[in-house]
Amino acid sequence: MGLRRRRRLTPYLLLVPGLAWLVVFYLLPSLNQLYVSLQEGNFETGYTFQWAWSTYSDAISTYDEQFLRSLRYAATATVLAFVISFPLAYFVAFKAGRFRNLLLLLIIVPFFTSYLMRTVAWQTILSDNAFVADRLRDVGLLDEDGRLLATTTAVIAGITYNFLPFMALPLYVALEKIDRRLIEAATDLYASRWQAFRRVTLPLALPGIFAGTLLTFIPAVGDFVNAQILGTSRQYMIGNVIQSKFLVVTDYPAAAALSFLLMAALLLCVFVYARVLGARNLQEAAL
Amino acid sequence: MGATAVTATPKSEPAATDADIVLRGVTKRFGDLTAVDALDLSIPRGSFFALLGPSGCGKTTTLRMIGGFEDPTEGTVLLGGQDVTDLPPFKRDVNTVFQSYALFPHLDVQRNVAFGLERRKLSKHAVRERVAQVLELTQLTGMEKRKPNQLSGGQQQRVALARALVNRPRALLLDEPLGALDLRLRRQLQIELKRIQTDVGLTFVHVTHDQEEAMTLADEIAVMSEGRIEQRGSATDLYETPRTQFVANFLGLSNLIDARLTGRDPRYATYETHDGATVRAPSELARDGAVRLGVRPEKLEILTEQPEGMNVLRGRVEVAAFLGVSLQYVVRTPGGEELTVIEQNRAGANGGTVGPGRDVLLAWRPEHPFVVDKETEHAG
């Protein structure tokens, strides 16, 4: 009797540490920020709770530009990361042979240096009189007075670079799991190499594509480091606004409201994306 | 070019003109390892052909070269007279049933089976009709919407078969298709496989290491060892007159006795065994040199009195076992060989076994033995 009860309870007991963590470090701070977002006042006189929903509408009308820019930059960087990562992951999974682990390590190696340091390094690489800009001017891809640093290109390139492993690794895992004999079976059944890829490899890689794009897109939308270091205020994203509201302007209600709006926008994006890709099919394909 | 190959074939070899699949001097090397060694093989149209051998004998590699998954290091592969050596799998008119089935996990049964037809751009209507037909043939009607992971092993095997059959290829290549199933299901599906092959009349090339499976299914069997074909023939040929020691031991049990040819007349050749007994074997099998005389366990009789016109060896019963359907003995001859005897259990409860330790006569008819060259034992 006692054993049976213990067995029934075990799954719930296993959830306790994770749930406790989420309650303390996620749910409670979120509720607190929700409370803050509805306050009014300023840093000197203090903030009081007012049900101030106008903070939300003001935030949207004032920072719609940064919101849309964030989505645009993140989407572009996600697509770029996918285009770069897929062939890379495919090569590592199917063709690399004994170099596979080495290549995987090389993908992860940048994580050994801090995110900030890597982005600052890019600042040096892209700076006006450095090697890259000079060579681009030599071949005429950049005007004589053209810049690489402090441009949209630089920010998107930075985001793409920084989040590439989050795209490459899930893609690799999904591709590596595919049984090679399935591709043989497809070619046996009159599929050319392209058709075998299109009909078998790609559908079976969908869970990895789904995971990789979300893992790239979601943090990229909220990113502020790349725009700050590689861009100017004309490239500022919603993350820069939130960061400055919290730490510079100390307008806590506005910062909290912007954070919630960002979260809502992301949830909406993910929901639509999952519907389009067919999340149910994904789960079945993953089995 | 295909036409000239056919007309150039001499009339004395009708099998070659009828052959659907021809391998000429095919060799496959993986690094230092020769998996298939200068293999010549022709498989007649409409036959159920088995490639039988232990693992590592090159049978699967041979099949994969017919399917186009491996390129031969040397030699030519012909399908229906056409040289396909350099064609990729999707341009070859053969389909494979893979050992692991390799069903597409993201597609249901209907879409799995329709895969080949869809690639060949058949109309939707034609695809549906042919899929329905083949699902009926393989007793899968009603399973159309299931995913592979919702099917039992036997059902998955049938889907793999249906997926290949539906294309009506020139030949079906089966790579240990029943290897993953338990014994009972395997026997049941063997019968079904044979029925389907008879129904559709396609050429089946079946790779297996299970001699019983090969004998049950195949019209013709090629026994492979170390990348070569040891012997090819019907199940009866291979069992009754194996030509090499390997075949004698791989197909069923054999008692092999060292012997030397001493004389021959039109019917029988006479041999002296290494412990001095004289035995006879059919004259047409006679071979000089160091040979071994083989006889199957069920051909041996245990007697206590000298019989007329039979080969006889003396021996002592070492082990006697009652197996229900049969009685099995191990009898040691004075020369030191241990011979296995299998006797039908005809006597029932009144009979029982001849007890161990008894001196007996082992007798068999002179038309039963086969002769193989004496080889040094294969390692393993």
CATH code: domain of residue A232? 1.10.3720.10
Put simply, the answer to whether B90 touches A187 (Cβ < 8 Å) is yes
- In sequence order, which residues have a C-beta less than 8 Å from that of residue B234 and are 6 or more positions away? B219, B220, B221
Put simply, the answer to whether A204 touches B105 (Cβ < 8 Å) is yes
Predicted confidence band of residue B354 (pLDDT cuts 50, 70, 90):
confident
- Pairs of CB atoms within 8 A across A/B: 64
Residues of the domain holding A168: 56-286
Q: Does B148 touch chain A (CB under 8 A)?
A: no
Instruction: State yes or no: pLDDT of B380 exceeds 80.
Output: no
Which residue among A185, A187, A281 places its CB closest to the CB of B88?
A: A187
Q: Supply the pLDDT for residue A282.
A: 52
Which residue among B100, B106, B163 places its CB closest to the CB of A181?
A: B100
- In sequence order, which residues have a C-beta less than 8 Å from that of residue A210 and are 6 or more positions away? A274, A277, A279, A282
Considering only A251-260, B39-48, B351-360, which range has the smallest mean pLDDT? B351-360
Among B115, B127, B163, the strongest candidate for a mutation testing the A interface, having the largest count of A CBs within 10 A, is B115
What percent of chain B lies above the pLDDT cut of 90? 69
Q: Which helix (H) or strand (E) holds A42?
A: strand A39-42
Using an 8 Å CB-CB cutoff, list chain B residues near A203. 106
Give tens-digit pLDDT for B272-305: 888 888 899 998 888 888 899 999 999 999 888 8
Give tens-digit pLDDT for B314-341: 999 999 888 888 889 999 988 888 999 9
Give the pLDDT mean for B90-95. Answer: 94
Q: How many domains does chain A have?
A: 1
Distance CA A91, CA B98 (A): 25
Give the pLDDT mean for B79-107. Answer: 94
Q: Supply the pLDDT for residue B264.
A: 86
B61 closest CA partner among B222, B179, B227: B227
How close A19 comes to chain B (CA, Å)?
Answer: 33
Instruction: State yes or no: pLDDT of B8 exceeds 60.
Output: no
Which residue among A182, A188, A191 places its CB closest to the CB of B96?
A: A188
Determine how β-strand B301-303 pairs with β-strand B291-295.
Answer: unpaired
The count of residues in chain B is 380
Put simply, the answer to whether B89 touches A284 (Cβ < 8 Å) is no
Q: Which residue in B has a C-alpha nearest to residue A195's C-alpha?
A: B119
Give tens-digit pLDDT for A80-115: 999 999 999 999 999 988 999 999 999 999 889 999
Using an 8 Å CB-CB cutoff, list chain A residues near B103. 185
Q: Does B104 touch chain A (CB under 8 A)?
A: yes
Put simply, the answer to whether A204 touches B88 (Cβ < 8 Å) is no
Give tens-digit pLDDT for A193-235: 999 999 999 999 999 999 999 999 999 999 999 999 999 999 9
- Residue A254 located in a structural domain: yes
A200 closest CA partner among A216, A180, A221: A180
Put simply, the answer to whether B102 touches A199 (Cβ < 8 Å) is no
Distance CA A211, CA B376 (A): 60
Q: Does B145 touch chain A (CB under 8 A)?
A: no
Average pLDDT value for chain A: 91
How close A26 comes to chain B (CA, Å)?
Answer: 36
Put simply, the answer to whether A186 touches B100 (Cβ < 8 Å) is no
Strands across the sheet with B220-225, in order?
B94-97, B171-175, B203-208, B48-52, B220-225, B228-233
Considering only A126-135, B33-42, B239-248, which range has the smallest mean pLDDT? A126-135
Average pLDDT value for chain B: 89
Distance CA A169, CA A165 (A): 6
Put simply, the answer to whether B98 touches A187 (Cβ < 8 Å) is no
Distance CA A162, CA A121 (A): 12
Which residue among B95, B102, B115 places its CB closest to the CB of A179?
A: B102
- Take residue A224 and report the two structure tokens written for it: 């502020």
Distance CA B239, CA B242 (A): 6
Put simply, the answer to whether B96 touches A185 (Cβ < 8 Å) is yes
| ipTM for the complex shown | 0.82
- Residue A43 located in a structural domain: no
How close B201 comes to chain A (CA, Å)?
Answer: 20
Using an 8 Å CB-CB cutoff, list chain B residues near A179. 100, 102
How close A142 comes to chain B (CA, Å)?
Answer: 46
Q: Which residue has the tokens 């080495």?
A: A102
Using an 8 Å CB-CB cutoff, list chain B residues near A188. 67-69, 89-90, 95-96, 164
How close B167 comes to chain A (CA, Å)?
Answer: 8
Distance CA A237, CA A216 (A): 16
Q: Which of residues 157-216 of B touch A (CB under 8 A)?
A: 163-164, 167
CA torsion A263-A71-A77-A281 (nearest 10°) is 60
Instruction: State yes or no: pLDDT of B187 exceeds 80.
Output: yes
Q: Which residue has the tokens 């009607």?
A: B141
Instruction: State yes or no: pLDDT of B378 exceeds 70.
Output: no
- Residue A132 located in a structural domain: yes
Determine how β-strand B228-233 pairs with β-strand B220-225.
Answer: antiparallel
- Residue A39 located in a structural domain: no
Q: Are B370 and B238 in contact (CB under 8 A)?
A: no
Q: Does B31 touch chain A (CB under 8 A)?
A: no
Using a CB–CB cut-off of 8 Å, the residues of A that contact B are 179, 181-182, 184-193, 195, 199-200, 203-204, 281, 284-285, 287
- Residue A28 located in a structural domain: no
Q: Are B172 and B93 in contact (CB under 8 A)?
A: no
What percent of chain A lies above the pLDDT cut of 70? 96
- Residue A6 located in a structural domain: no
Q: Greater confidence, B237 or A44?
A: B237
How close A95 comes to chain B (CA, Å)?
Answer: 17
Among A177, A178, A180, A190, the strongest candidate for a mutation testing the B interface, having the largest count of B CBs within 10 A, is A190
Which residue among B68, B119, B147 places its CB closest to the CB of A189?
A: B119
Q: Is A45 helix (H, G, I), strand (E, B) or coil?
A: coil
Q: Supply the pLDDT for residue B345.
A: 86
Which residue among A182, A190, A193 places its CB closest to the CB of B120?
A: A190
Q: Is A102 helix (H, G, I), strand (E, B) or coil?
A: helix
Using an 8 Å CB-CB cutoff, list chain A residues near B170. none
CA atoms in the 13 A half-sphere facing the CB of B268:
14
Q: Are B160 and B103 in contact (CB under 8 A)?
A: yes
Distance CA A257, CA A246 (A): 11
- Residue A215 located in a structural domain: yes
Q: Which residue has the tokens 């995110």?
A: A115
A248 closest CA partner among A228, A230, A234, A263: A228
- Take residue B81 and report the two structure tokens written for it: 């007279």
Q: Supply the pLDDT for residue A160.
A: 96
Put simply, the answer to whether A187 touches B149 (Cβ < 8 Å) is no
What percent of chain A lies above the pLDDT cut of 90? 75
Considering only B6-15, B56-65, B107-116, B284-293, which range has the smallest mean pLDDT? B6-15
Distance CA A148, CA A137 (A): 10
